[in-house]
């Protein structure tokens, strides 16, 4: 179902737009589902892009999804992709910077900018996610391990699992030299410490 969704016509480099590949999104969401973090839960898809992560969560029985993105095209794509499914999903789509979003939920799912263009732009997403929900699933480059461990501790969270994946990034910008390159990523599950 996820592989049939519409994606960005041209990804904006400054926003580090990159859609999670459908097979990885499906596998990641299935892991979250098995952890009992999806069914009947309110989820936030922070930096939703095409909406793939939040839509996948709704398909697996999430009670409600919030889709948040600053970009016009992302909002349009999310609406179009939601409309492809003939289901009565409960959701809100909010166009704003993640820093301005303040609704609480059970789980945040995000594939934020990795900070390749703007160093550590994923910090803002992580700290915001920690304010919004007690459970977070967040994609980052595998090299971010030490940094995420430290940040989680500082914010009262603990890293409970890291699922490893490989993203094959296509050439999306003129300054990219290789046609495709593989990037090792992790999906971190972070849990608030009680």
How many amino acids of this chain bind ligand SAH (CB under 6 A)? Answer: 20
Estimate the crossing angle of helix 52-59 against helix 72-83, to 10 degrees: 20
Complex with ligand SAH: residue 111 or 152, whichever CB lies closer: 111
**Residue 113 contacts residue 140 (beta carbons within 8 Å):** no
Which residue, 72 or 86, has its beta carbon nearer to ligand SAH?
A: 72
CB closer to ligand SAH, 48 vs 130: 48
| From candidates 23, 39, 97, 154, binder to ligand SAH by CB under 6 A | 97
For 93, other C-beta atoms within 10 Å of its C-beta total 19
Q: Which of residues 11-30 bind ligand SAH (CB under 6 A)?
A: 15-20
Name which of 100 and 154 has its Cβ closer to ligand SAH: 100
Q: Applying CB under 6 A, does 81 fall inside the site for ligand SAH?
A: no
> CA-to-CA distance for 38 and 13, rounded, in angstroms?
31
In terms of C-beta distances under 8 Å and separation of at least 24 residues, what long-range contacts does 175-180 make, across chains too?
none
Is there binding between residue 49 and ligand SAH (CB under 6 A)? yes
Q: How far is CA 101 from the centre of its chain?
A: 15
Look-up of token digits 């799912």: 109
Q: Which residues touch 154 (CB under 8 Å, ≥6 apart)?
A: none
Residues in the chain: 194
CA–CA dist 115, 108 (Å, integer)? 19
Segment lying near ligand SAH (by CB under 6 A), choices 63-71, 142-150, 165-173, 179-187:
63-71
Which position's Cβ is nearest ligand SAH? 49
Q: Give the shortest CB-193-to-ligand SAH separation in angstroms.
A: 26
Residues that bind ligand SAH (CB under 6 A): 15-20, 47-50, 52-53, 69-71, 74, 97-98, 111, 113
């Amino acid at each position: 179902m996820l592989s049939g969704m519409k994606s960005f016509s041209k990804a904006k480099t400054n926003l580090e737009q990159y859609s999670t590949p459908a097979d990885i999104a499906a596998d990641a969401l299935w892991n979250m589902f098995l952890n009992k973090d999806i069914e009947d839960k309110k989820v936030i898809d922070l930096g939703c892009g095409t909406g793939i992560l939040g839509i996948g969560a709704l398909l697996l029985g999430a009670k409600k999804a919030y889709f948040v993105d600053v970009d016009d095209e992302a909002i349009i794509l999310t609406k179009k992709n939601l409309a492809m499914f003939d289901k009565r999903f409960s959701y809100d789509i909010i166009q704003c910077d993640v820093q301005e979003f303040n609704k609480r939920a059970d789980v945040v799912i995000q594939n934020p900018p990795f900070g390749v263009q703007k160093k550590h732009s994923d910090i803002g997403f992580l700290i915001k996610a920690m304010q919004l929900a007690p459970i977070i699933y967040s994609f980052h480059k595998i090299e971010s391990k030490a940094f995420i461990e430290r940040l989680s501790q500082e914010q009262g969270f603990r890293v409970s699992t890291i699922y490893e994946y490989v993203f094959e990034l296509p050439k999306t910008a003129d300054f990219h030299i290789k046609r495709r390159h593989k990037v090792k990523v992790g999906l971190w599950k972070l849990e608030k410490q009680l």
